[in-house]
Amino acid sequence: MLITVMKFGGTSVADPEKIQRAAERAIAQRRRGDAVVVVVSAPGEMTDELIALAERVTPKPDDRELDQLVSTGEQVGIALFAMACRARGAPAVSLTGPQAGIDAVGAYGRAQIRRIRTRVIMKHLKAGRIVVLAGFQGLHPSGDTTTLGRGGSDLTAVAVASALKTGRCEIFSDVKGVYTADPRIVHDARKLPRISFEEMLELAGAGAQVMQARSMEVAERFGVEIHVRSAFRPAAGTLIVAREDLMLEKAFVSSLALDKSEVRLSVVGVPDQPGVAAQVLTALAADDIPVDMIIQSAPSQAGVNDISFMTPKGHAVKAKKALESVAKKLGAERVDLHDQVAKVSAVGTGFRHSPKIAATMFSALAKHKINIHMISASDLRVSCVVDLQNGETALRALHKAYGLGKGRR
Amino acid sequence: MLITVMKFGGTSVADPEKIQRAAERAIAQRRRGDAVVVVVSAPGEMTDELIALAERVTPKPDDRELDQLVSTGEQVGIALFAMACRARGAPAVSLTGPQAGIDAVGAYGRAQIRRIRTRVIMKHLKAGRIVVLAGFQGLHPSGDTTTLGRGGSDLTAVAVASALKTGRCEIFSDVKGVYTADPRIVHDARKLPRISFEEMLELAGAGAQVMQARSMEVAERFGVEIHVRSAFRPAAGTLIVAREDLMLEKAFVSSLALDKSEVRLSVVGVPDQPGVAAQVLTALAADDIPVDMIIQSAPSQAGVNDISFMTPKGHAVKAKKALESVAKKLGAERVDLHDQVAKVSAVGTGFRHSPKIAATMFSALAKHKINIHMISASDLRVSCVVDLQNGETALRALHKAYGLGKGRR
């Protein structure tokens, strides 16, 4: 029995009409002869609406009860989806995480899938039914329903594909695939037929939120290819595959990302002593502040230097506070926050062996008189922080400089 | 351990503010030392909204999937209720029907509670937690969540009170109790401290929808007293108790009801032969048409008579069609439908032994020149059908005639 796992995100099942279209996709796949498992998210904004409702009851809802509440969103999604299938004559059954045998452990609100007991799913598949699974949830050992945290429906789809040994998982959403750059900014951006998990993870880190990082890591580990595609158009999207499946003979840039969601923080005038950077980062880690592009500048004056990094806007205030406290202890001069910045990144493969890729970025930006505030580079990514107002110009300039436009490769 | 079962209906938990007030009621009871089980309905119009959503997906949603969908309403209610308790420092836990050990059998959408395994509920009560149970749902032997049909949350409350042997169940809603007549129509209507199950069932049949009939039957059978009271006011409401608990020495009227929701149907000119009434009623039963006050008139002309009855407006068209078909077979003259009618009823005890109660009704109506179309009487109820425009006048006249006003008894 060939099994296809299809995951539909919240925007793909946002209203009854979209649910019907998604159901038709699943039925078409079933009629081609495959057994079909559909993983469904909560329709549209339902999860956020339920959280808002909870916050009207109490500003700090209990985690266990929040899971009891929020998990109804996916339950609504699967019931409506299964109804739509059945109304079109296709046998279908909806299953919540607990009903489907998805066992989860760990803290409420961010549990991990421990195992999937596939007996119930297989029974329904063998009976010819489309199995419609609630994403984002599982059965806690206590008997409670728990949720898996952000991106959890993708994770459910990947874990189910792995448990059913399908080798692939189709992720339907409102994006058509992975592009060489954001097509809303770069008019000749191209959809990539394939990309590696590593590059996707770097793209996620560079601010391109196609898929949640944790699900990609799990997919790679368990050998599940991911097909990211549009819920509203029939065309194929982008296949995310393991690195060894891609031609690696030369360094190349796959895709660019522009991230305007971060701020730059600097501790200025830090004594140039061992252990200082560690103290700064420990303070940030203690407050769960995500950090990207940590850079310690070469001392501009004798015995002092600056430590800078990027962090999401939502963490800026907390981060500044933590830094000011550590700056005082270290005898640093001050803490600077720059919020008019953008991070532009090139993601690809083999960068370490090809300084040309970084060089191309710097010269393209220079040609457009775009000043670079920070640089970081790895084997898979080169990122530059520039003024916010130059972000889109930078993206377009780099897309051209790397020859990523339609028909160029 | 003294256990109090408190049930809050949809209007009592319609929004976060009302949920908070209801939670405070439960906490107050807990702090008085009782163990507390709360049964919660879906907030406000949520059940109807979910059904409307399903009908946008398909006009005939599958029953199993409709239960999967609709049962989320109560799940939202219990999670919010438990959060509200915890936010006020009262340990609480929400449990869906399946989580609570409520086993149900029968058709989806109108299942019956088979048994309640109280282990989980008792564990939480012993740990000092307020147990917040989803009404209206149970675990089907298939592993599915199923709903109990109309009035199902009352039924859950009664069944839980019976399983926990509490002897009583508090039903909180937007009514303050059972009145001698509708206080919106009769200004001196009085709240009754007690009433019997039989009288309540007659009142329900007479159109007063305080509580669903099935839950009262179950409560009576399993010896659970019901306290119907306001969710928004502290005062005691009306206790519904077994008949033997009331003083029965004399016939008395407890309460009046006015029902404007029915129509009168008559098959006119039916041959006066044995088996004719049976044929008429069989035709109605075949179409599931509810029937009240069946009256076969004495023959007004030789060899023919009329058969009349009352039925809810929603069934009028279907009933008329069924009657016209049976009228043709019987050679009856015609079928009449009167929709400008109202049914006024007196409910009490010992009527059979006291013709005075029926006589008082007829003379009070005569005094107000109100014409009576139909009469029916039992030991517990006397009903008259009058013109719709006379309904409220009749109710007020009877309230006075029976001496039911404030301070009279």
Q: Give the mean pLDDT of A356-381.
A: 87
Burial class (CB in 10 A: 0-12, 13-18, 19+), B84: buried
The number of residues in chain A equals 409
Cβ atoms of B146 and B67 within 8 Å: the answer is: yes
Note the pLDDT of residue A301: 65
Range in A11-25, A269-283, B311-325, B359-373 with the lowest mean pLDDT: A269-283
Note the pLDDT of residue A247: 56
Report the 10 Å Cβ neighbour count for A187.
11
3-state secondary structure (DSSP) of residue A70: helix
* Greater pLDDT, B233 or A407: B233
**In chain A, pLDDT over 90 holds for what percent of residues?**
68
Note the pLDDT of residue B408: 45
pLDDT tens digits for A236-288? 999 999 876 555 556 789 899 999 999 999 998 888 777 787 888 888 888 88
Cα–Cα distance between B19 and A53 in angstroms, integer? Answer: 11
Our CA-based measurement puts residue B81 at a distance from the nearest CA of chain A, in whole angstroms, of 8
Our CA-based measurement puts residue B79 at a distance from the nearest CA of chain A, in whole angstroms, of 5
Domain B3-174 listed as CATH 3.40.1160.10: yes
Of A20, A58, A84, the CB nearest to B84: A58
Note the pLDDT of residue B355: 78
Note the pLDDT of residue B295: 79
Residue B246 has pLDDT above 60, yes or no: no
State the residue for tokens 């006066």: B272
Q: Give the mean pLDDT of A292-305.
A: 74
Report the 10 Å Cβ neighbour count for A358.
16
Of A16, A50, A143, the CB nearest to B53: A16
pLDDT tens digits for B3-19? 999 999 999 999 999 99
Which residues of chain A have a CB within 8 Å of the CB of B120?
Answer: 143
* Greater pLDDT, B268 or B149: B268
pTM over 0.80: yes
Q: Which 21-50 residues of chain B touch chain A by CB within 8 A?
A: 50
Residue A192 sits at the chain B interface (C-beta within 8 Å):
no
Our CA-based measurement puts residue A65 at a distance from the nearest CA of chain B, in whole angstroms, of 5
Q: Across all residues in chain A, what is the average pLDDT?
A: 90
Note the pLDDT of residue A408: 45
Q: Give the mean pLDDT of A46-70.
A: 95
Residue A119 has pLDDT above 60, yes or no: yes
Judged by CB atoms closer than 8 Å, whether chains meet at A94 and B57 is answered as no
CA nearest neighbour of B330 among B305, B355, B367: B305
Note the pLDDT of residue B409: 43
3-state secondary structure (DSSP) of residue A121: helix
Our CA-based measurement puts residue B186 at a distance from the nearest CA of chain A, in whole angstroms, of 38
Q: Give the mean pLDDT of B169-178.
A: 92
Cβ atoms of B226 and B239 within 8 Å: the answer is: yes
Q: Give the mean pLDDT of A177-185.
A: 91
Note the pLDDT of residue B24: 97
Cα–Cα distance between B274 and A140 in angstroms, integer? Answer: 66
* Greater pLDDT, B150 or A353: A353
Note the pLDDT of residue B100: 97
**Residue B249: pLDDT band with limits 50, 70, 90:** low
CA nearest neighbour of B195 among B152, B227, B224: B227
First and final C-alpha spacing in chain B: 38
Judged by CB atoms closer than 8 Å, whether chains meet at A82 and B65 is answered as yes
**Residue A401: pLDDT band with limits 50, 70, 90:** very high
Q: HSE (CB half, 13 Å, CA atoms) of B91?
A: 7
Cα–Cα distance between A133 and A127 in angstroms, integer? Answer: 16
User: Span B245-409: which CATH code?
Assistant: 3.30.2130.10
Q: Give the mean pLDDT of A6-25.
A: 96
**Residue A207: pLDDT band with limits 50, 70, 90:** confident
Note the pLDDT of residue B64: 96
Q: Give the mean pLDDT of B180-189.
A: 91
pLDDT tens digits for A94-104? 999 999 999 99
Q: Give the mean pLDDT of B69-78.
A: 97
**Residue A354: pLDDT band with limits 50, 70, 90:** confident
* Greater pLDDT, B150 or A185: A185
* Greater pLDDT, A376 or B328: B328
Judged by CB atoms closer than 8 Å, whether chains meet at A69 and B83 is answered as yes
Q: Where are the domains of chain B?
A: 3-174, 245-409
Judged by CB atoms closer than 8 Å, whether chains meet at B80 and A53 is answered as yes
Which residues of chain B have a CB within 8 Å of the CB of A144?
Answer: 99
The number of residues in chain B equals 409
Range in A292-301, B14-23, B266-275 with the lowest mean pLDDT: A292-301
Judged by CB atoms closer than 8 Å, whether chains meet at A57 and B93 is answered as no
* Greater pLDDT, A209 or B291: B291
State the residue for tokens 């994403």: A135
**In chain A, pLDDT over 70 holds for what percent of residues?**
95
Note the pLDDT of residue A149: 75
Burial class (CB in 10 A: 0-12, 13-18, 19+), A212: middle
3-state secondary structure chain B: CCEEEEEECHHHHCCHHHHHHHHHHHHHHHHCCCEEEEEECCCCCHHHHHHHHHHHHCCCCCHHHHHHHHHHHHHHHHHHHHHHHHHCCCCEEEECHHHHCEEEECCCCCCEEEEECCHHHHHHHHCCCEEEEECCEEECCCCCEEECCCCHHHHHHHHHHHHCCCCEEEEEECCCCCECCCCCCCCCCCECCEEEHHHHHHHHHCCCCCCCHHHHHHHHHCCCEEEEEECCCCCCCEEEECHHHCCCCCCEEEEEEEECCEEEEEEEEEECCCCHHHHHHHHHHHCCCCCEEEEECCCCECCEEEEEEEEEHHHHHHHHHHHHHHHHHHCCCEEEEECCEEEEEEEEECHHHCHHHHHHHHHHHHHCCCCEEEEEECCCEEEEEEEHHHHHHHHHHHHHHCCCCCCCC
